[in-house]
């Protein structure tokens, strides 16, 4: 291999001067070439060498609680419309949810505009977001899922949607129903109720939605925790590794449908996939496989998450 020729002091100074004019002063390559009396091709070579040799170092600085570099890498890697990675302590899950909720609330206030229809699924992370919303345009708000009772949450999915509708001053499409019914027959009967039909009829109009992602394991999925051991094992045998608002997903990036799916009172795979922007707010490093499956299946195209989960997603 032929060694690269050593750069003399004059070339180093020229390289630094050209780089300063371009990167700091904003001059074009043509302007720099005229100033220094060299070709624009030599200017381009000098700029390239300045970067590769370390004469110029470009640093992307963090902004507040957002890790902008990690956010950009995550967005590019998965082709996401939005990716926000929050740089925060992760030991306290309640505090982590609040931090993610605050960032998601800021994102919602930024991207939800006039003419949008906002869909909200029941999830602890979505509740953390809605509790910190202060302003939104006048848009309709649609309930996407029934509710699951949890000892650490008092508000239902109906409360969640109505609270946000009071902020938007738009109509609230809500229905009183659990997310999972004892059998398919009772679920079908419930879906024929007037308020359920009215809310479900709004699904094709939803333009932006916020959802949670569950990993198919104890404590990492509210839906998993609500099922019997037999039901959990049945879905695991069918390849389920996660759930998004009642839609089960596998490691093959495919939805998993079956008898249990017929008992779910929530938006289905096809309706969710048709929503232009679905922002998920997952937390917990162990959820990485479920998050990948949710993105790969086309259900989710935006993320608000934290550092360790973002790095786990990128490690693959």
Task: Identify the CATH number of the domain defined by range 68-315.
Answer: 3.40.50.1360
Residue boundaries of the structural domains of the chain: 10-53, 68-315
pLDDT in tens, 218-255: 888 888 888 888 888 888 899 999 999 999 999 888 88
Q: What 3-state class would DSSP assign to 245? A: coil
* Structure confidence at residue 9 (pLDDT): 74
Which residue reads 């550092």 in tokens?
A: 307
This model's pTM is above 0.85: no
Mean pLDDT of the chain: 90
Question: Cβ(209)–Cβ(277) under 8 Å?
Answer: yes
pLDDT in tens, 89-102: 888 888 999 999 99
Contacts 24+ apart (CB under 8 A), 231-238: 231/260, 234/258, 234/260, 235/260
Same fold, 10-53 and 68-315: no
Contacts of 8 (CB under 8 A, 6+ apart): none
Task: Identify the CATH number of the domain defined by range 10-53.
Answer: 1.10.10
């Amino acid at each position: 291999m032929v060694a690269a020729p050593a750069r003399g002091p004059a070339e180093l100074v020229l390289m630094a001067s050209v780089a300063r004019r371009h990167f700091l002063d904003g001059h074009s390559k043509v302007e720099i070439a005229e100033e220094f009396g060299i070709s624009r091709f030599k200017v381009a070579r000098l700029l390239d060498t300045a970067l590769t040799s370390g004469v110029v170092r470009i640093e992307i600085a963090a902004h507040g609680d957002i890790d902008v570099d990690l956010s950009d890498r995550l967005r590019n890697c998965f082709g996401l419309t939005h990716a926000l990675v929050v740089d925060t302590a992760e030991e306290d899950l309640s505090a982590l949810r609040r931090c993610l909720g605050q960032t998601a609330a800021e994102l919602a206030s930024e991207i939800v505009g006039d003419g949008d229809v906002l869909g909200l699924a029941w999830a602890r992370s979505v509740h953390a977001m809605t509790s910190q919303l202060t302003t939104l345009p006048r848009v309709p708000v649609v309930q996407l899922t029934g509710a699951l009772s949890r000892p650490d949450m008092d508000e239902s999915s109906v409360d969640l949607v109505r609270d946000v509708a009071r902020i938007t001053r738009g109509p609230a499409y809500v229905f009183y129903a659990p997310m999972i019914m004892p059998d398919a027959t009772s679920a079908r009967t419930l879906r024929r109720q007037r308020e359920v039909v009215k809310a479900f009829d709004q699904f094709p109009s939803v333009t932006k939605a916020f959802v949670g992602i569950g990993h198919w394991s104890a404590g990492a999925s509210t839906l998993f925790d609500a099922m019997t051991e037999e039901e959990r094992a049945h879905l695991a045998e069918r390849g389920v590794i996660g759930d998004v608002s009642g839609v089960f997903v596998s490691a093959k990036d495919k939805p998993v449908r079956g008898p249990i799916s017929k008992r779910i009172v929530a938006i289905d795979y096809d309706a969710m996939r048709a929503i232009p922007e679905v922002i998920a707010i997952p937390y917990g490093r162990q959820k990485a496989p479920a998050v990948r499956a949710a993105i790969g299946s086309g259900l989710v195209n935006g993320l608000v998450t934290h550092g360790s989960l973002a790095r786990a997603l990128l490690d693959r």
